[in-house]
Amino acid sequence: MPSRLTILGASIALALAACTDEPRPNVAAADESAEAAPESPAAAPTVEEAVEFVERAEAELSENAEFVGRTLWVQANFITFDTNWLAARAGADSTELAVRLANETKRFEGLDLPPEVARKMDILRTGITMPAPSRPGAAQELADISTWLESTYSTGTYEYQGEALDLPALERIIDSSRDPEELAEVWAGWRTVSAPMADRYARMMEIASEGARELGFDDLAEMWLSKYGMEPEEMEAEVNRLWSQVEPLYEQLHCDVRAGLNEFYGDEVQPAEGPIRADLLGNMWAQQWSNIYDIVAPEGASEGVDLTSLLEENDYTPRRMIETGEAFFTSLGFEPLPDTFWERSLFTQPPDREVVCHASAWDVDNVDDLRIKMCTEVDAEDFQTVHHELGHNFYQRAYAGQDFLFRDGAHDGFHEAIGDFVALSITPEYLREIGLIDEVPDASADLGLLMRQALDKIAFLPFGMLMDQWRWRVLRGEVAPEDYNSAWWALREQYQGVVPPVERPPEAFDPGAKYHIPANVPYLRYFLSFIMQFQFHQAACEMAGWDGPLHRCSIYGNEEVGRRFQAMLELGQSQPWPDALEAFTGTREMDGSAIIAYFEPLMSYLEERNAGRQCGW
């Protein structure tokens, strides 16, 4: 299941739309000899003025959102010089508007504002991912660099065996090959695409950091961490706390997977101790490992369900996969997607043009023009991805009735968790209900199913955390551009226990080989979502009265769970995220214990398997 860029309701990401400051007259005195009039002291701002400002800000954002949404949609679906130019221009104008509004909030600091108005002020101030300083030309330079980086990534190719292969083609090799020499070449080949990005990335960080300081933050890392309704250092501590809850399970999984790879490849390719070679894990970024299930499957475990084969045997197409995903949500009581979704979405990779294949969900007009964009393959991975992306769309529609600045997730981890929470109900029982299998495998298949899930869900957790750990260090100035790559691999080894298959040259920029770095998508949202989706799943199964193993629970067809779910989604960003979390789960704290409960049978198995092995790295 790939990680995704999602246009989150566009309240900030898209809806900080194309608008420049109004032209200002030249106020130089016509008669330089005239005596300047004394300045009147500025009147203290009032609560009424603050309310009027917020109303004006929302009107400006709403008015321009659709233009920016359609501009970026066209650029993502038709990558050309001209669409890149348009996207850069829209991005620059959006940033200028965002910065202007954020700076205007300073005037109302210290006022005792109504909670709703104060919340909107905070969103305006912290809701910009890449702020430009207000000096002339800065926003355009930032937008030009951002557009170039994303376009470079999306159109990148590597010549392998005489053919220029794009990322999806290279990924297919990494996913399936068992030739360590081929894997190393393809792995390193994709990273030739990101090497030229380093200098422009560093310049982009300089501009955005300057913008963050202008808005009153020490650095851009502080600004990013301020979006969660707590002090930045508290949020960092919260991330570390959540990681500590799940780290023991990851270490056991790493230990068993490394042993399986060692047995398969031998000591020369993968030693029995130490880190794992990143290219052997069946994923271009070693972030999810289910493609090597055949190598590390539990001893004697049943094969369980091969979802990819089932989809192929039942003549599933990309569109039918998406229709099946929609049917899960409608089984919970949600209304079907609008006809325009089916008319305007991109479901498969076009043969005649460059597109951004990275899967994403869009709300183009911030009302009901919902779409997804993905180069869908008929396989288990994209079946999961479809449910994930549709989760964004149903969330976007649920909060469409909120005020403009509240049309977003309670925090960004919520948006990413929604669809994946639903996808946890893709159990054998669910597959039986939709006609893909006739009988549910007995409990002997559970260990294999849990291992497959862990290779995706548990393997991802440290990667999901370290992406922004690296960026926070960059944004704080703790890592200089010449040290970008060494700092990246130090964190990869520290948290994931993986190392590159070949020596990485000083000029490499391996972070840029992952979409979310050049595209400037904060990544902590994914780590939080992987914690919260299990928390949502546990709460939903309790609502449904489920009393069996948590990994066997499916909420498909449960409209009571759907009503409670919808009530949380409708809140959008109108309330602090603990309120939204409590509305569905009954608790106000993010908690990793549901993951431990879900994988408890696997944890017992892994601890038994790893007895006597030297775990850790």
Alpha-carbon separation of residue 142 from 10, 133, 134, 201, 411 (angstroms): 19, 10, 12, 10, 25
A 10 A CB-CB count for 164 gives 10
Q: What is the DSSP string of 448-489?
A: HHHHHHHHHHHHHHHHHHHHHHHHHHHHTTSS-GGGHHHHHH
How buried is 124 (Cβ within 10 angstroms: 0-12 exposed, 13-18 middle, 19+ buried)? buried
Confirm if 385 and 5 have CB atoms less than 8 A apart.
Answer: no
Q: Which two tokens stand for residue 216?
A: 């009153």
User: Among the residues of 476-543, which ranges form H helices?
Assistant: 484-491, 524-543
Cα–Cα distance measured from residue 377 to residue 433, given in angstroms and rounded to the nearest whole number: 23
Q: Is the dihedral of CA 326, 63, 71, 9 positive or negative?
A: negative
Q: Is 389 one of the annotated active-site residues of the chain?
A: yes
Cα–Cα distance measured from residue 363 to residue 400, given in angstroms and rounded to the nearest whole number: 10
Q: Is 551 one of the annotated active-site residues of the chain?
A: no
Q: If you search the block for the tokens 């969330």, which residue do you land on? A: 395
For residue 132, the 8-state DSSP code is P
Task: Name, in order, each residue with C-beta under 8 angstroms of 85's C-beta and a sequence gap of 6 or more.
Answer: none
In the set 150, 222, 389, 493, the catalytic residue is 389
Q: What is the CA radius of gyration of the chain?
A: 25
In the set 254, 516, 537, 551, the catalytic residue is 516
For residue 376, the 8-state DSSP code is -
Mapping DSSP onto H, E and C, the string for 554-595 reads CCCCCHHHHHHHHHHHHCCCCCCHHHHHHHHHCCCCCCCHHH
Task: Name, in order, each residue with C-beta under 8 angstroms of 17's C-beta and a sequence gap of 6 or more.
Answer: 61, 63, 64, 65, 66, 67, 68, 69, 90, 93, 94, 97
Q: What is the DSSP string of 42-72?
A: PPPP-HHHHHHHHHHHHHHHHHHHHHHHHHH
Closest CA relative to residue 128, chosen from 9, 208, 232 = 208
Identity of the amino acid at 423: A
Cα–Cα distance measured from residue 207 to residue 203, given in angstroms and rounded to the nearest whole number: 6
Three-state secondary structure call for residue 35: coil
Q: Which two tokens stand for residue 541?
A: 């199964």
A 10 A CB-CB count for 166 gives 18
How buried is 169 (Cβ within 10 angstroms: 0-12 exposed, 13-18 middle, 19+ buried)? middle
Q: Which two tokens stand for residue 418?
A: 């929604």
Element (H, E) at 368: none
Provide the pairing of β-strand 276-277 with 498-499.
parallel
Backbone φ, ψ for residue 319 (5° rounding) = -65, -40
Confirm if 496 and 462 have CB atoms less than 8 A apart.
Answer: yes
Catalytic residues: 389, 516
